[in-house]
Amino acid sequence: MHGLLIDRSVASVAASLATAAVVSILFQQTAPFKSQTDLVRLNVVVLDNRTGKPVLDLAAADFTVTEDGRDQKIVHFLAAGNPVERSTSVSADQRAFLFVFGSGYLDGPIRPYDGVTTFIRQELRPGDRVGLLAWNRVTDLTSSHEEVADAVQRLRTMPDNLLTSWLRDQQRLDDLSPQTQAGIDRLFSVAGELPLRSAPALLVGTQEFKQNAPLWGRWNRQFIGWDKLKVIAGIEHLRRLQGEKHLVYVSRAGLSLPIRFVNEGIGLRVESTDDDLRLAVRAAEANVTLHVIHTFGTDQRTGVAFHSSQNLAYLTGGQFTSARSAIEQLKRINEASQSSYVLGYISAKSPDDKYRRVEVAVNLRSTTMIHRRGYIAYRNPPATDGRALYARTRFEETAAAGVDVSDIAITARAEALDDRSAGRQVEIELRVDPKDLTLERVNDKWEGTIDLMILCGDAKRVVIGRLDQQMKLGMDDATYRQALAVGIPYRTTIPVRGVPVAIKVMVYDYGRDRMGSVSINLRGRQSSNGRTSLPRRLVEFLNGRQPAPGPSRR
């Protein structure tokens, strides 16, 4: 099913308004710069150039702030290391670190795998969340530090069977083979201890998704070799989180030359000299700080990449190195994270949805300032239900995509009905794997909430019938065990205003920001989204080749 869209009368307006409003709502929730009272907030670290240590004894009068070259009056100030909670909604102690490992061989003099592992095990605070993005997989952000550290160590070596399968895939024109994908997944999680999701699926609905639509037939292979997409996917993965967010990009040599490649290439692959700023703006929207670690040092071959990586870190308030060991650099990042000043000012300009450059100076010599160099002055959106709006945006992005998303395993079948009394209808039966959902045990029941949208399209992909609802789940232990075995069942009938040809079923879990979708051709009547976690017997049942799952008869 390719490009099944939501009703044309509202699609373009709803999509643009929803996307803008969601970004603005999240921008206000995380308060990276601008709050609902128009206070622009800056986290600023001042480093002594001689010692590399943070300077902690400055006052508000020591700082000067400019926005687009105009002086601003500081009206809010918190000294570095102040234990006072720095936001009305988010504690300063709530931090998240996402480590993004680039393509190619990374082990080198910087010792990235050992450094990241040591940092996770020894430097993170108990409440810190950490995640890992590599190859085409990303983990959830978790406080189970040891499990992520173990996965980092497994990533440093490629088993022979995975290497053989990977090389065989390079000779084919389609996407990764199931054998290669299974081998990649085992690097992350040996026994399912780390929940995994598709990293390319995080790009559904983005400009990068639209630009590379012709490559989706081999999208996973393309994604693995294109670090720019990995960094963007990492930003999207962190977007909805609240608190302090750090993306650490570990790369052999950083960004590639600012030219357009006609082949797949290796590295971050920027296409113009403005890509540094575009990535920085994207990070500012999501309140994400980008740090870059080059693992092979600096020489003449990496000079341009050096400056691009350095500029990207500079613009987003992060740090860059191609000389220090990974653990030394990560310790500096950690120390700076806990030693920032908070400055606030009220801009004289009204919000205009444009990017504004911000500079902070201090009247102290031999110091380096680390802070985000700009923000987008979003206009305040109308009051709305942020959860519902976010789910709606996810549905619209997924519905418009020509591929299915498998972060939630779904198996479904559909049948067109033509009843003289009831008119044309589509009967749909589906099963959802509960292992992919956010469920909590409350009063002896497993409870959760999912959003469901089903779109029925005609031969021209125009929506002629739809179901859009939020479902409250409540299962006792026996029902939950049955759902783990055969999936959560759901059956419905949807009236349609024409001849149905294609169906798209989408399930969204807001708690974990996971989406699952299945496209059904009514000529085939049954489909799944590629996941194999639902039992084969259930798939055969939905194909009509087995009786319904249940107790065996003697």
Four-CA torsion 183, 184, 190, 195, nearest 10 degrees:
-140
Amino acid 145: pLDDT: 94
Highest-pLDDT range among 5-19, 281-295, 399-413, 522-536: 281-295
Give the per-residue pLDDT at 25. 28
Does 190 or 277 have the greater pLDDT score?
Answer: 277
Output the six-digit token pair for 95.
């931090």
Q: Name the residue with higher pLDDT: 132 or 279.
A: 132
What pLDDT does 537 receive? 42
Q: How confident is the model at residue 24 (pLDDT cuts 50, 70, 90)?
A: very low
Per-residue model confidence as pLDDT tens digits over 497-529: 989 999 999 999 988 888 999 999 886 555 566
pLDDT digits (tens, 9 = 90+) for 145-173: 999 999 999 998 888 888 888 888 877 76
Which range is least confidently modeled, 173-182, 242-251, 503-512, 528-537? Answer: 528-537
Instruction: Please report, rounded to a whole number, the percentage of residues in the chain having pLDDT higher than 90.
Output: 42
The predicted-structure confidence for 74-113, as pLDDT tens digits, reads as follows 999 998 765 444 343 444 458 999 999 998 888 888 899 9
**Dihedral, CA of residue 453, residue 456, residue 459 and residue 462, to nearest 10:** -60
How much is the pTM?
0.73
pLDDT above 90 (res 329): yes
pLDDT for 9 equals: 33
Residue recorded with tokens 């031969």: 459
Percent over 70 (pLDDT), the chain: 77
pLDDT at 12 over 50: no
The token pair that represents 116 in the structure block: 């990241």
462-511, pLDDT tens digit by residue?
A: 889 999 999 999 999 999 999 999 999 999 999 999 899 999 999 999 88
- Does 326 score more than 50 pLDDT? yes
The strand pair at 374-376 and 70-72 is best described as unpaired
pLDDT at position 550:
39
Q: 235 falls in which pLDDT band (50, 70, 90)? A: very high
Beta carbons within 8 Å of 13's beta carbon, 6+ residues apart: none
Are 251 and 38 spatial neighbours (Cβ–Cβ below 8 Å)? no
**Geometric angle at alpha carbon 428, from 423 and 432, rounded to 5°:** 160
pLDDT score, position 93: 57
Class of domain 35-81+339-377: mainly beta
> What pLDDT does residue 213 have?
60
Mean pLDDT of the chain: 79
Cα 200 from Cα 406, distance rounded (Å): 11
Q: Locate the domains of the chain by residue range.
A: 8-21+385-542, 35-81+339-377, 102-337
pLDDT of residue 30: 35
Top mean pLDDT of 15-29, 142-156, 172-186, 386-400 is at: 142-156
Residue 231 has pLDDT above 90, yes or no: yes
Taking the C-alpha atoms of residue 527 and residue 545, their distance in angstroms, rounded to an integer, is 14
d(CA 226, CA 207): 15
| 8, 462 Cβ separation under 8 angstroms | yes
Closest CA to 426 of 412, 440, 439, 438: 412
Q: Measured between alpha carbons, how far is 197 from 133 in angstroms, rounded to an integer?
A: 10
More confident residue, 217 or 446: 446
User: pLDDT tens digit string along 36-61?
Assistant: 447 888 999 999 998 888 999 999 99
Q: Which of 48-52, 243-247, 416-420 has the highest mean pLDDT?
A: 243-247
- Taking residue 116's Cβ as centre, other Cβ atoms within 10 Å add up to 27
What is the arithmetic mean of pLDDT over 524-543?
47
Q: Per-residue pLDDT for 371 more than 70?
A: yes
Residue with the bigger pLDDT between 273 and 87: it is 273
pLDDT at 553 over 50: no
